[in-house]
Amino acid sequence: MSEPILSVSDLHVNYGRVQAVRDTSFDVPEGGLVTLVGSNGAGKTSVLAATSGLVRPRSGRITFLGQDVTRWSAHRRVSAGIVLVPEGRQILSTLTIEENLQLGGWRRRQSGARIGQMYDRFPVLAQRRRQLAGTLSGGEQQMLAIGRALVAEPRVLLMDEPSMGLAPKMVDEVFAVIESVRAEGVTVVLVEQNARRALTVADTGHVMETGSIAHSGPANELLEDPRVVKAYLGME
Ligand SMILES: Nc1ncnc2c1ncn2[C@@H]1O[C@H](COP(=O)(O)OP(=O)(O)O)[C@@H](O)[C@H]1O
Ligand SMILES: [Mg+2]
């Protein structure tokens, strides 16, 4: 086995007295697609926040390309290639689409060329580049959030609930984008409440329950694991 591109080891995240994540460890192989699924409040966003440097873990270690990045700032991690598409998209609605994409590239040379590639990839953004991002639909805003992250040239793309709140057709489009990004060689860590869809596209899955990983395995096996089916897939 080759070295993982990203490793999370013995991670603990607290917010004051709230223990959001405990004893959480997983590896992400280069070029892989790993998903974290689980109920609301299970700790998924907190794992991504610690990985991207937005929260300081209480303890544990994040290793990226063999380097311990646990104490690196979020900006330094973006420069190194760890890029987050945050929960709720967090695009800047009073800036234009173009300005939002430029924000993704502020640490990169040649970001103009990358922005051009995003317009090829997401024609809906190209048509509306001078419009305010707040005028986009929810699905279009998600495409913008993904485009902004891709302008930053991720090695590992962390995606937090990209299909949340979207109509079924847009959910299909978001998953198609995830698969194409992965096919281009970008490693993906996908957090989703839509566990069935996420496990269908992922190689490996981890099920989080109340702050820690309860089940892990090849995604296709988790899709048939009775404990996972009963708790997370049964209702669909
Ligand atoms: N900023 C915060 N302050 C206090 N508690 C938080 C904060 N963010 C998350 N939590 C708590 O941490 C736990 C894990 O939350 P989160 O990581 O957002 O889970 P998920 O993404 O799986 O829904 C929950 O109990 C949540 O209420
Ligand atoms: Mg979350």
pLDDT in tens, 125-157: 999 999 999 999 999 999 999 999 999 999 999
| CATH hierarchy code of domain 4-93+153-233 | 3.40.50.300
Averaged pLDDT for residues 20-48: 97
Residues with CB under 6 A from ligand 1: 15, 18, 20, 38, 40-46
Query: Residue 108's pLDDT band (boundaries 50, 70, 90)?
Result: confident
| Range in 120-134, 152-166, 175-189, 222-236 the model is least confident about | 222-236
Output the pLDDT for position 111: 82
Length of the chain: 236
From the list 74, 78, 70, the residue with the least C-alpha distance to 53 is: 74
- Closest ligand to residue 11's CA: 1
Domain positions in the chain? 4-93+153-233
Q: Cα–Cα distance between 40 and 25 in angstroms, integer?
A: 20
Q: Cα–Cα distance between 170 and 135 in angstroms, integer?
A: 17
Residue 46 alpha carbon to ligand 1 centre in Å: 6
Nearest CA to ligand 1 atom 26: 41
